[in-house]
Amino acid sequence: MTETPAVLAEHGLCSQADPEAFFPERGMSAAYARQVCASCPVQLLCLNWALDNDERFGVWGGLTEHERRRIRRARAVEEPKSAPQPKAAPRGPVECGTRRGYHRHRSQGEPACDPCRHANAAADRRLRTTGSTLPAA
């Protein structure tokens, strides 16, 4: 949406008004800016651009930064940031004599059996020499 600021500058009534009115000091009224925005043909486009680009200062689309913050917060509640991740498919049973078997022994706090220790050592050697723990195909 890089063309939006150009469209706003070309068609927005704010481009013909005093810019200071759209960035009122704390405690000053934004009534004049709101009045200009109320009759602007690109008011909704302006407001959506400000919301999408997290514009934090001034009056955009007829709303102050405080009013836009409320809208952003309401949107965040309605739209969760990310969907819950599906659980990984369960793997089959862990067999002794494999690297997974070695790690299972270690995670359960038990000493690894000889086949698992040998499989883990072999995988470590492959990792150092080839960059992968997988055996050559």
- Do residues 72 and 10 share a domain? yes
pLDDT one-digit tens code per residue, 101-111: 998 888 889 99
Question: Distance (Å, rounded) from C-alpha 92 to C-alpha 118?
Answer: 21
Q: How far is CA 14 from CA 50, 89, 93, 97, in A?
A: 14, 56, 68, 73
- Do residues 21 and 72 share a domain? yes
Tokens, residue 111: 């000493």
pLDDT one-digit tens code per residue, 78-117: 766 666 677 777 777 888 999 889 988 888 899 999 999 9
Domain extent, residue 125, equals 99-130
In a domain, 110, yes or no: yes
Tokens, residue 46: 């302006």
In a domain, 88, yes or no: no
Question: Distance (Å, rounded) from C-alpha 133 to C-alpha 102?
Answer: 14
Output the pLDDT for position 82: 65
- Do residues 109 and 67 share a domain? no
* Residue showing tokens 């102050």: 64
Output the pLDDT for position 83: 64
Output the pLDDT for position 35: 92
DSSP 109: T
Q: List, for the chain, all residue ranges whose pLDDT scores fall below the cut of 50.
A: 1
In a domain, 62, yes or no: yes
Number of domains into which the chain is organized: 2
* Residue showing tokens 């009122």: 24
Output the pLDDT for position 1: 45
- Do residues 65 and 115 share a domain? no
In a domain, 119, yes or no: yes
- Do residues 61 and 29 share a domain? yes
